[in-house]
Amino acid sequence: MYLRSLSAVLVTCVLNAAPAVAEEAYLIVIREHRMNPAELQVPAGQKIKLTVDNQDATPEEFESHTLNREKIIPGHSKATIYIGPLKPGTYEYFGEFNQSTAQGKIIAK
């Protein structure tokens, strides 16, 4: 009984001491139907947390075929989109509702 309790305590200590895997956090702002930044550099091989802040009054759809992501963001709202880990390369994204102006790319290095 004592040995089982000691084992449980040791396992708990080891699990609590393990380093947490944190994702990198980045912000993309939609303003005047444009994506800012238009080019975002991120580390390859890491999970990425994107916060997309739509500061326009109208909704926008963050879309990326290369990232396989699609998310409608109402006006004056934010959305969180998780991507990765990404291989080195360029991943384009755009605003579905304003494709001529709302464009950008993520470069994973």
Which pTM was predicted? 0.78
Tens-digit pLDDT profile for residues 56-108: 999 999 999 999 999 999 999 999 999 999 999 999 999 999 999 999 999 99
Domains and CATH numbers, the chain: 22-108 (2.60.40.420)
Tens-digit pLDDT profile for residues 8-28: 544 455 445 544 556 889 999
Query: What HEC string does the chain produce?
Result: CHHHHHHHHHHHHHHHHCCCCCCEEEEEEEECCEEECCEEEECCCCCEEEEEEECCCCCEEEEECCCCEEEEECCCEEEEEEECCCCCEEEEEEEHHHCCCCEEEEEEC
